[in-house]
Amino acid sequence: MMSLKINGQDHQVDAEPDTPLLYVLRDDIKLNAAKYGCGLGQCGACTVIVDGNAVFSCVTPILLLKDKEITTLEGLGTIEKPAPIQRAFMAEQSAQCGYCIPGMMMRAQALLQRNPNPTDQQIRAELAPHLCRCGTHMRILRAVHRAAEMMTRADAGDQGGTL
């Protein structure tokens, strides 16, 4: 039995220490935003945030996560109250099939937390490990810029209520 802190809540997990975090999230805790794409750390679909850093949960064994803060897309916002990054991706209609989008949003969120105003080049470099077979890259890029603006306005006192 191991304790994992996910989206601010402690979860007791009965799994082998080398079990990938992705399996625990999806199978045990029923948090299904992180997706199984390649299972090899090569597509980004499974990305979550651990202590502020984007990680591939498919190749991250839970034994490395003791006392770490794990955040999944479900921890950012809800359908009723989406986070700025989620509102921005919706506003730019960045999803086609949508499979890559949770991972894209999580890495973009981690980027914006440490760099609130990234350049085009910085966003492209950050998202380079992520594959999108639908080719919505330009809409994803616009969404990250939009989220940056919304988060900056919210920090300045505007609640970022408009898309």
Taking CB under 6 A as the binding criterion, the range among 81-89, 106-114, 127-135, 143-151 that sits at the site for ligand FES is 127-135
Rule CB under 6 A: say whether 102 interacts with ligand FES.
no
Rule CB under 6 A: say whether 13 interacts with ligand FES.
no
Are 63 and 78 in contact by the 8 Å Cβ rule? The answer is: no
> Please, which residues bridge with residue 69 across strands?
5
Q: How far apart are CA 33 and CA 102, in angstroms?
A: 6
Taking CB under 6 A as the binding criterion, the range among 1-9, 95-103, 119-127, 155-163 that sits at the site for ligand FES is 95-103
71 closest CA partner among 85, 95, 53, 84: 53
Rule CB under 6 A: say whether 23 interacts with ligand FES.
no
Measured from the CB of residue 153, what is the shortest distance to ligand FES in angstroms? 27
Rule CB under 6 A: say whether 64 interacts with ligand FES.
no
Give the one residue of 16, 27, 42, 120 binding ligand FES; rule: CB under 6 A.
42
Q: Which strand ranges, in their side-by-side order, compose the sheet holding 69-71?
A: 9-13, 2-6, 69-71, 47-50, 53-56
Measured from the CB of residue 69, what is the shortest distance to ligand FES in angstroms? 20
Rule CB under 6 A: say whether 112 interacts with ligand FES.
no
Number of helices and strands in the chain (H, E): 5, 5
Rule CB under 6 A: say whether 82 interacts with ligand FES.
no
> Please, which residues bridge with residue 20 across strands?
61
> Please, which residues bridge with residue 2 across strands?
13
Binding residues for ligand FES, rule: CB under 6 A, are 36-39, 41-46, 56, 58, 95-101, 132-134, 136
